[in-house]
Structure 1
Amino acid sequence: MNAHTPASPPQNRNLNLLVAAQALGAATPPIIISLGGLVGQMLSSNPSLATLPVSLYQLGLALSTIPTAFAAKRWGRRNTYLMGGLVGALSALLAAWAIFENSFVYFCLGVTLAGFYAACVQSYRFAAADTATPEHRARAISLIMVGGLIAAVLGPQVVIWTREALPATPFAGSFISMAVLAFLALPLIAKLRIPRAAAAAHTHTSGRPLLQIARTPRFPVAVLAGVVSFGLMSFIMTAAPMAMVGCGYSVGTAALGIQWHVLAMFGPSFFTGKLIERFGNNALTAFGLILIAASGMLALGGLALTHFWGSLILLGVGWNFSFIGATSMVTDCYQPSERAKVQAVNDFLVFGTVAAASFFSGHLLNTAGWEAINMYMMPIVAVVLMAQLWLARTERRQATS
């Protein structure tokens, strides 16, 4: 096997297909997050419900993580991902139809169902890890995130190109385009050849009980790091545009800041896997969390544009290192027969936190303010860093005993 590739040729083929499917599937969140509030404002008679579609999308994602993992175990990843892509396309068409019919309820239903597709897309990183050799899992996960970089550009461009494509029904064209992207992913997914885990295929056991896995030192620290890194990133990213507009900056300026943030989230993926192989996933996760804390320190330094944009860029890079590192740590915690339940619990906790963050970020910004939000993150990061230090010492003692 080539040392510079994360797997054998058939596995590299799967990885390339997953990267392409990720680029198409991960374009969905920017479309929904960009337009969900605007469409909600247009369709809802109650202004306070305008952002409900975005929150319901995040909730649908969180609630779909466990069914997605167990469907993949039961029917295989390829069949589950095909079902996810089909649900993604149909949910986007339902959302578009709701705009035509001026129905807020059906629009909310459409974006909630899109959460199942998003849960499938999020699990592509585990599919990549499961098909790679153990020493190359981190690089495989990192390469999958490169698809997110493409999606970060593709999603907003779809909004720009198609939001006025049907002048009588603004934004409906964007959701039709979202359905097209989901349909385009289907032939890529159909070409996947991901074998069932040997332990799962030849035994009738499901491995160790989840509580036993949770008692191992690495698993709770890995999950905590993933929850905190994604939760804080989502919380700050949601609040930042509102804070910028509140400080007198234009909506376009705020949107450009978010674009730089999203590019920073996925840009380092070209080399994050190599850094994990060099320094270890626990160390890189800790460094990513330090960068997230540094983004908060920079935000507390002032309200100039450089403070906002600089903190968002640091936040993006910190998320990349900490979340990919935490995902790599999770893959160290299970045997093949245990992967479905471990991945399901991890993603449910991570994206459940993201859903909660999307519900409460606006409220906390209005009640506590931008500076308070960035101050609150510091002790949270400190707790995770202390947990990682404890893990490093524990594993060092176990290795020498």
Structure 2
Amino acid sequence: MMMGLFFYILFLTPICFFCCPLLIQYSFYMIFIIVLFKNYDFFFCGLSYFFGLDCFSYWLIILTFYVTCLMYLCCMSYSLSLMFSYLLFVNYSLCFLLYLVFCSLNYLMMYMFFEFSLVPLFIIIVGWGYQPDRLSSGLYLFFYTLFASLPLFIFLVYLYLFFGSLFFDYFFGLSSSFVVHFITVFAFMVKLPLFMFHFWLPKAHVYSPIFGSMILAGILLKIGGYGVIRFMFMYEYIFYNYSYIWYSLSLFGSLLVSLICLIQGDMKCLIAYSSVAHMGLSLMGLLSMSKVGLVGSYFMIIGHGLCSSGLFCLSNICYERFLSRSFFLNKGLIGFMPSVSFFWFFFCCFNMSCPPSLNFFSEIYILISMLMFWWSSCFYFFLISFLSAFFSFYLFCFSNHGIFHNSYSFSFVTLREYLLMFSHFVPIIYIIMVIDYIF
């Protein structure tokens, strides 16, 4: 099954150079439907040559193909570019590498594809990003991740030499060393990103093109949570002993980043910092070492991947009209584009975890797991949740209300952009309807 999909995606490569994004998009939709109707169990299935599928990777693979389809929908605005075929190929390569990350059954292969995925993203930011500062933002992204993950590579080589295997279900003995715990977790904390290791994220988002921000917020940040889940099963005892360190840091970081969101003057910066706050909550659910926390974190990963990507698309719609993402210039959008204000309202509500969104259920699960881990953390959670609602409300009101320079109302949005926003909107609610089927 998985090797068949591997060759299916691999042989789609020549289509990229025919400059036909619709054909590639339909092909990825076909893969999306094939994987969606694939039966999976709580153990690995679809096994073939180091590739497989389980309940942790299943929905992330679906999310990868779905966000990639939406990326190609965004790429159509670049169709007049001379480098359009290379743009399609780079996006295709990034999706292919992300598929391999989530399908790998081996720690070393997962690490290898996880590092390779940085190369297409670096090319996207440097090649199609905004302003000359995109060069420094690309280097921030590249070297932050490279520096953090090099000790992990050395540790994996050591494990292979000592145990002779790096498969997920292998027993690597018991250890109580904090150094081992730090090495296995640090690379994914930077990728998540955890507070204090997040400085590359706002720069990468602000200077990357819209499809780069979509794949970065929708999928690449989720590799951090996925990696923590995988390595948690390698040494559970170490996580049980030392998880309070990362738990305290993410608790304090989510609170502080929520305050930082309130002083932002750029739409993309605020959405990027909100990703740090939400990923901190997701990490707290994982570190509680409970099934409730794991399910809640997984829901937040999926819900945030769609919601954050949709918010970046909305900010790009405003940027293409105003040539600015500043709150001081983007005023009165409810009179300029009233139909888009509907999506602004709902995505800001989903970002603050209002029902009936998937984010709402994820925060309830995470709150329960936090109470099980440390009862007093509920006060911090309520404060983080309140500030999250505060900056989401701030984002909606500052951009949609106020005085616009035109005195009449009209809709200046293309059908492609409506389809893009609707495609982000529907799954966040639909997954709630089939939640009993999922778990």
TM-score (normalised: structure 1) = 0.33
TM-score (normalised: structure 2) = 0.31
